[in-house]
Amino acid sequence: MDLSTYFNPIDTAVVGFHSQEFRPMLGDDIAAYTSEGHFPEWQEAPLVVIGVPEDRGAVDTPGCAPAPDHIRRYLYRLAKPHADLRLVDLGNLAPGATLRDTHFALIDVMHPLLDKGCTVIVLGGSDDLVFPVYKAYEILGRVINICSVDARFNIEGGDEVNASNYLQHIILQQPNYLFDYVALGYQSYFVGDEMVKLMDELKFSIRRLGEVQAMMTNAEPLVRYSDVVAVDISAIRQSDAPANATPSPHGFYGEQVCQLARFAGMSDKTSTFGLFGLSPTLDRDGQTAHMFAHAIWYFIEGYYHRLGDFPHRDPQHYKRYSVQLPDHGIDIVFHKSLKSDRWWMEVPCDNDERRQRYQRHSLVPCSYSDYQRAMESEIPDLWWHYYNRING
């Protein structure tokens, strides 16, 4: 498929790929679509960057369309995160005549990239773009998990897809290919009790900002379980991300966003990582664009530390523990990787049709604390959560 017809080249006068500060640099070693060069070969690329300069779906974050090149300006001046880096930048998706046209174009682009096994870094734009990303997986017939790092749930009403309601539109798709929606870092004063209750009724995984910040490593299994990880600027405190049209004094620190990005990069399951909502005209000396660039750097660095952790494929590299819980009449099987020390637990399914549909989701990433809890004859909350999801 010829993807070049969908993209505009990167303006090198804005981005600037080369610097004399130190070597080797990211910008020195990527294949990028610029006005001076040809559209790069992407079919064998492990990592692909696409810019989507689209903000007509923004509700509270206007002015974020120019963000991709502002992020690139800082990203490509960073040191290479790995000596064997292979990264392709396809440029900026040409905006459609309407927002819906842009969404369709993004679906057409994401579908072949994912089908070829590329891991895609999406530079937004507003986070309604998560909807067409989901649609690309739908075309491939993949049931997926989406992890949204956001202060809000994006489940408000409205007939047209936008940044505040894209989750609602995903839920309404039939047949549906969303297994779980993980909301990391939501802030209660922005969503209210009724919205929290709704998310609980939908059996989605939601974690308050304070809960995640208290133990960042507990977020790692949820990120590791996700096919799509989307970071919205609203999740980050104003002092660290001033380029936000609806700033808040509370949120994640920049370092914590980078930590979550590295978790996503290290996940063998994550195939899309997106950053959304940055309004360059509100930025201070490029602070937010620089921070987003750091997050991408950590994602790439994490990607090159992937270990191919798949307990069912390589059982010789895992230690298996079967924990009996006689008070509950169940056994829970845990797997510990001998390569990374990461943990998984098996979640059974009682229905053959659902077992086949959710096969990719029956082995749930967890933490050592989940294993400890089972050893104390308690069923881990994470196990209960996914047992209920898999078994309906």
Domain boundaries, the chain: 3-303, 315-390
Share of the chain above pLDDT 90, in %: 80
Predicted confidence at residue 21, as pLDDT, reads 58
Residue 252 has what DSSP assignment?
A: B
Strand order in the sheet with 363-366: 318-325, 330-337, 343-346, 363-366
When mean pLDDT is compared across 113-117, 184-188, 354-358, the lowest value belongs to 354-358
The whole-angstrom separation of Cα 251 and Cα 152 is 11
Point out which residues pair with 275 in neighbouring strands: 123, 231
Instruction: State residue 23's pLDDT score.
Output: 62
pLDDT greater at residue 11 or residue 159:
159
Q: Decide if pLDDT at 392 tops 80.
A: no
In CATH, what number does 3-303 get? Answer: 3.40.800.10
Chain CA centroid to CA 245, Å: 22
**DSSP, res 218:** G
CA distance 131 to 167: 7
2-58: pLDDT as tens digits: 899 999 999 877 666 655 555 678 888 889 998 877 899 999 999 999 999 999 999
Average pLDDT score over residue span 303-307: 96
pLDDT at 359: 77
Q: Which amino acid is at 382?
A: L
Q: What is the DSSP string of 159-183?
A: SS--TTTHHHHHHT-SS--EEEEEE
Tokens of 288: 């937010």
Considering only residues 351 and 181, tell me which one the structure prediction assigns the higher pLDDT: 181
326 versus 37: the higher-pLDDT residue is 326
Q: What pTM value is reported for the model?
A: 0.95
Contact (CB, 8 A) for 34 and 118: no
Average pLDDT over residues 216-225: 96
pLDDT category at 183 given cuts 50, 70, 90 is very high
